[in-house]
Amino acid sequence: MNRIGRTTTLLATLLGAGCALAQGFNDTPPNGAAYDQSPAFAGQTRAPALLSDMPLQQTVLAAGLEHPWGLAMLPDGAWLVTERPGRMRVIGADGAMGDPIGGLPQVDARDQGGLHDVAVADDFAQTRRVWWTYAEPRGEGRNATAVATGVLSDDGAQMQDVTRIWQQNPAWASTKHFGARIVHDGQGRIHVGVGERSNPEPRQLAQDPQATLGKTIRIDAMDGSPAGAGIDGALPEIWTMGHRNIQGAAMGPDGRIWMNEHGPKGGDELNLIRQGDNYGWPLATYGTNYDGAQMGQTQVEGTVQPVYYWDPSPALSGMVFYDGPMFPEWQGDALLGGLQSGSVIRLDIEGEKVTGEARHLQGIGRVRDIEVAEDGAIVLITDEDDGQLIRVTRGD
């Protein structure tokens, strides 16, 4: 399936200032209001709206992608993109779309499953080393998140020397909450945020140190050997516990790792990932059940609070910290994809506190992943039947 990308240029005005306020992203009553939920500290939710009237320009580099999920920049300005049904392909800086790459393992592509995140080595130009996560079929309707690595052939057509280096346990008969974001720590290891598989029974395993559901794990990037936090009684790859469904991960300007995750109905979280911490799920949450029932407490002894949470939920996804010349006003800010909000969410973070929030490009579609190009442009993918690769630059 070789679908040629079309290039379309649209002008869009960044929705900050009065426009963002008019959209009301801070005005909708929280789902948790019925249970008198309140933040643990000032500024933990609904930070002041950031003001801006900067115009943005969107260029659709490629269209016709089927639920794209992961995005990684290559040294020549091209992009490596995954599609959930199990495809990975190279899209040129000019939008030229390559054929699906051969040699990838089978995926379970039901519902939220399939091929997920992708990351490339810092020395990709020399090694052509790639990592990806996927929903691995494990028999009898069961599946689990897995991590694989391989070497992309010089012509971009084939993944070679493919090795699965890690698999989540136990496998489960569920089609939801695979999580699956990858972030390199710069020291030869990768952190992976994995989901708790959604159903009431496996959900409890987010608190089980002998299961890798609802955890972040740290492993050697080449062979998958465990490099965890050394938690008493825990599997050796576990770095943190108590997560629901991690959807975004990035290293901040100071080298610390941040991840975001979906709450249930409300309660999406931004977390600073610290060695050995327990983030509370399913005991602690600012979300409610989908039927409106309370799910837990907002504060539970022995668990850490999110740096920031959202209620209602924008359905967070891929994440990056801005570092580039095109938008100097955004330097160091976190940019997060919003699926339900259909926007790019920008957070001003000072230390460990969110001091402002903006919603840009509202209505652009389900933003699944987001990266910063070499020239400072924002590049994102939209998770749709007809998904797009979009380049966002400063407008006139």
CA end-to-end distance (rounded Å), the chain:
37
For 47, 99, 279, 333, the CA distances from 105, given in Å and listed in that order, are 43, 16, 32, 36
CB 257 within 8 A of CB 273: yes
Run of H or E residues at 352 = none
Counting every residue written for the chain, the total comes to 396
Strand order in the sheet with 246-251: 246-251, 257-261, 268-272, 308-310
Dihedral, 283, 287, 292, 295 alpha carbons, nearest 10 = 0
- CB atoms near residue 253 (< 10 Å): 13
Please give the distance of CA 360 from its chain centroid, rounded to a whole number: 18
CA atoms within 13 A on the CB side of 231: 26
* Phi-psi map region of 124: left, alpha, beta (phi>0 left; psi -120 to 50 alpha): alpha
Question: Catalytic pick from 67, 177, 243, 262?
Answer: 177
3-state secondary structure of 214: coil
Q: String of b and e for 136-150 (b: at least 16 CB within 10 Å)?
A: bbbeeeebbbbbbbb
- Closest alpha carbon to 392 in 347, 359, 360: 360
13: tokens are: 């005005």
- Which one-letter amino acid corresponds to residue 47? A
DSSP state of 288: B
177 carries an active-site annotation: yes
- CB atoms near residue 330 (< 10 Å): 23
39: tokens are: 């933040």
φ/ψ of 126, rounded to 5, equals -95, -40
Residue whose entry in the numeric block shows the structure tokens 């983030």: 279
CB 48 within 8 A of CB 367: no
Strands 189-194 and 215-220: antiparallel
**Which residues are known to be catalytic?**
177
